[in-house]
Amino acid sequence: MAGLVRLVLILFIGWIAYSLFRRWLAGTSSSAGRKQDIGQMVRCAKCGLHFPRQEAFTKHERYYCCRDHMQQDQH
């Protein structure tokens, strides 16, 4: 009888570990998918910072990370 209880307990702990591992894997893969949505990266013509193109300010086909850098640049 004690052997059966021990077997059930081991199977239950294994099932919990498996469930937690699957949840962890699902969380890891979904966060990796979000990283791919960044899009094309560009470089600020003033300071050299790289950032997503959709966040860029543009002037004369040059990219800037903020409005101040766009206004400060003499080109």
**Structure confidence by residue, pLDDT tens digits, 16-48:** 999 999 999 888 765 555 555 678 999 999 999
**Domain co-membership, 45 together with 59:** yes
pTM of the model as a whole: 0.50
Q: Are residues 24 and 34 in the same domain?
A: yes
Q: How many independent structural domains does the chain possess?
A: 2
Q: What is the pLDDT of residue 74?
A: 79
Q: Are residues 46 and 75 in the same domain?
A: yes
Judgement on whether residues 7 and 22 belong to the same structural domain of the protein: yes
pLDDT at 38: 74
State how far the Cα of 30 lies from the Cα of 26, in Å rounded to an integer.
6
C-alpha distances in Å from residue 62, one per residue of 44, 48, 51, 59, 66:
8, 12, 13, 5, 12
Strands (E) in the chain, as ranges, are 41-43, 50-52, 57-59, 62-64
Same structural domain for residues 14 and 45?
A: no
Q: Which letter does DSSP use for residue 66 in this model?
A: S
Give the domain range for residue 68.
Answer: 39-75
Same domain, 51 and 25: no
Mark whether 34 and 8 lie in a shared domain.
yes
